[in-house]
Each structure stands twice: as structure tokens, then as C-alpha cells.
Amino acid sequence: MDCQRCHKRPATVHLTQVINGEKTETHVCEYCAKEKGYMSDNEENFTLNDLLSGLFNYEQSPSIKGNHSKAFQSNKQLKCPTCGLTYQNFAQIGKFGCGDCYKTFNERLNPIFRRVHSGNTRHDGKVPKREGGNLHLKRQIGEYKSELQRLIEQEEFEEAAKIRDQIRSLDHQLHQGEEDEE
């Protein structure tokens, strides 16, 4: 792919911006990227390890500059009882030593997951719409059913009736979709 700006050199810098839900992609060569201010001449290479260290608030590399919180540092080091990995070592390498590390470092992981996943700490996965078929409807029905249960417990019966009607509507769509497939 050629540079979208000069059309002379291959594009080596690929930028994706999402502003107000609108996605734009830019593909430019290194020279045009520096010219447009996407990169500077004195920047060092930024590695994945640098990115992870920044997410874990662990300053390891001189290429990460700026305001670094020491929020996760303490006198007593948190250590996995199974593999012996310390939180500091995890922050440096960005990998766990074993499955028990998730439990050991759990309190410190949620803030990291929130930063990485736009505030979410639960991963539901992604299913393409054309392949997922009724899966999206089934998930929505499940969410509505738990909301309905909560509303009933709080004795908010008018809201519960609205949710019940939405569940019925989705159930109808689900069964209609299954009939169309047969």
C-alpha cells in the first residue's frame, strides 16, 4: 500500500481514529508521518513491553516519559504462592507465571483491565452478526430476564411489565427466525 499523502513511498504508519463513532484510517510513509506530526524525529522505538509497563504503572523504559503513578508499589511485595512471581516481575514482563497469578493479583488487575478495555472488566466475546444468528437475541433475552428479576425484587412492577413485553417480543423474533431457517 502506498502512502496516502505523497503516493511515492510505501505506507509504514497506520493510524485508526474513532471520533464520535466515526472511524477513519490513515496510511502514510514515515516521512509524511513526521511531517504531519504523527511521529517526531527524536522518538525512540516503542515496544509492546513499554506499552504493558505503562499500563501497569511500572516505569522500566526511558522511552516512556510523563506522569507515572506509583500506586501499585508497596513495601510488602505481592507474590504468587504457586509460582513465586511477584507483581513487580509481572509488571516488567507482562506475563503471568501460572493460572493462580490471576487470583493473587486480582485486586490490581481490574484497574488495568478497565484502562485496556474501555472501562469493562468482563469479556463477552464477539460474534459476527451474519454468523451469530440468534445468539444475539438469546443474549439480549438473558440480560432482560436478569433485569426483570431485579425489578421484581425491588417491586418496580410497571418497569418489570415493560421488560416482560420486550422479552416476549424478542422471543417472538427468535422463534420466527428459527422457523425461517427451516
> In order along the chain (182 residues), what is the average pLDDT of each group of 10 residues?
92 85 89 80 58 56 42 62 88 84 85 74 67 76 93 94 94 76 58
The pLDDT value recorded for residue 57 is 57
The pLDDT value recorded for residue 61 is 40
The pLDDT value recorded for residue 166 is 94
The pLDDT value recorded for residue 18 is 82
Alpha helical stretches, state H, the chain = 30-36, 48-55, 87-93, 100-104, 106-116, 129-132, 135-153, 157-181
The pLDDT value recorded for residue 66 is 43
- Using CA atoms, how far residue 2 sits from 5, 6, 34, 84, in Å, is 9, 8, 16, 49
* Residue at 176: amino acid letter: Q
- Using CA atoms, how far residue 20 sits from 8, 16, 23, 126, in Å, is 32, 13, 8, 21
The pLDDT value recorded for residue 34 is 84
Neighbour tally for 36: CB within 10 Å: 13
